[in-house]
């Protein structure tokens, strides 16, 4: 892509969706791409925390890019999740209440 190329909104929304699924899988301690990159880490107790941190950072990066490019991103999340993303801090509240009590994550 050249310097003046325009990236379609659909591209960012698909990347946002992928990052959201990866973060949610990390929260549920399910397999993600990160497991394949660092298989030796599975034996370390801090692995799952680090895996969640990396997924959260990626999600925040894509949200930030969407904001800078004036692309809609909030529609992909619940109001509570938007609040967490706007605060940018992955706290225990985010880890405990990301799913709003829904069971949607269990089916992924």
**Does any domain span residue 83?**
yes
**Does any domain span residue 48?**
yes
**Does any domain span residue 17?**
yes
pTM above 0.75, yes or no: yes
* Model pLDDT, residue 1: 46
* Model pLDDT, residue 6: 76
Residue 45 burial by CB count (10 A; 0-12/13-18/19+): exposed, middle or buried?
exposed
Spell out the per-residue pLDDT of the chain, length 108, in tens.
445 567 788 999 999 999 999 999 999 988 888 878 777 777 887 888 888 999 999 999 999 999 999 999 999 999 999 999 999 999 889 989 999 755 455 445
**Does any domain span residue 1?**
no
Query: Total domain count for the chain?
Result: 1
**Does any domain span residue 70?**
yes
**Does any domain span residue 105?**
no
Q: Which domain holds residue 92?
A: 9-99
**Does any domain span residue 38?**
yes
């Amino acid at each position: 892509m050249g310097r003046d190329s325009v990236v379609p909104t659909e591209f960012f929304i698909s990347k946002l969706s992928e990052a959201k699924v990866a973060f949610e899988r990390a929260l549920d301690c399910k397999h993600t791409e990160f497991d394949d990159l660092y298989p030796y880490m599975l034996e370390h107790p801090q692995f799952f925390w680090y895996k969640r941190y990396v997924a959260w950072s990626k999600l925040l990066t894509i949200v930030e890019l969407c904001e800078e490019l004036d692309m809609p991103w909030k529609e992909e999340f619940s109001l509570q999740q938007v609040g967490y993303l706007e605060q940018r801090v992955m706290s225990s509240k985010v880890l405990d209440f990301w799913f709003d009590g829904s069971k949607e994550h269990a089916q992924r």
